[in-house]
Amino acid sequence: MTTLSIFDQSVPESPRVVTEDSGKIANLLAEHGVRFEQWSTRELPADASSDDILQAYSGEIQALKAECGFQAADVISLNPDNPQKEAFRQKFLDEHVHSEDEVRFFVRGQGLFYLHFGDQVYAIMCQKNDLISVPDGTRHWFDMGPEPAFTCIRLFTNPEGWVADFTGEDIASRLPRYERLAGVAG
């Protein structure tokens, strides 16, 4: 289940708010310019290719491109048997920003986005059916867990794809990781 946990930066060991109410999650995120929606997913074979996935969601992708000016879309998918899973996890675990919105639609599985707003951190356990769009310049990081199992469609305004500017802050190391919050999410 999709879960939002809100932490005060000064008390990073326990959240002050936890909710699984998708409407409340959308409203709390919208206060910070973050788009959160839940879309219907398609039934696709387990071995569906990136092209198959992009084709299955072509209507939604084209609508987002037209609405937001995205130029490119791709698919990222990781499974627990990936020999580079730890390197992939580490790549996204430090706080960073982008010069464009970071958009993810979860076709399968789950992952944890952390969004840093002032002295608060919002941790959103995104699940299959969740669309999140993190505005450019938003301090954030992503934790896919030690045994990643997800497939996401990503959209970009920069045709080169994912480009991060790391903040150098250590906040990501002070908050509970995926392993603990996945337990909160059930």
Q: Is 131 helix (H, G, I), strand (E, B) or coil?
A: strand
* Residues annotated in a binding site for Ni(2+): 96, 98, 102, 140
Structure tokens at 80: 């627990």
What domains sit in the chain, N to C, each tagged with a CATH number? 3-185 (2.60.120.10)
Contact status, residue 54 vs residue 42, Cβ threshold 8 Å: no
CA distance 121 to 57: 31
**pLDDT surpasses 90 at 119:** yes
Q: Which residue, 22, 18, 19, is CA-closest to 30?
A: 22
- Cα distances (Å, whole numbers) of residue 168 to 27, 95, 96, 123, 173: 30, 7, 8, 19, 11
* Residues annotated in a binding site for Fe(2+): 96, 98, 102, 140
CA distance 57 to 70: 15
pTM: predicted TM-score of the whole model, two decimal places: 0.93
Confidence label for 185 from pLDDT (cuts 50, 70 and 90):
very low
**pLDDT tens column, 44-69:** 988 899 999 999 999 999 999 999 99
* Residues annotated in a binding site: 96, 98, 102, 140
**pLDDT tens column, 13-27:** 889 899 999 999 999
Q: Which residue, 185, 142, 155, 159, is CA-closest to 1?
A: 185
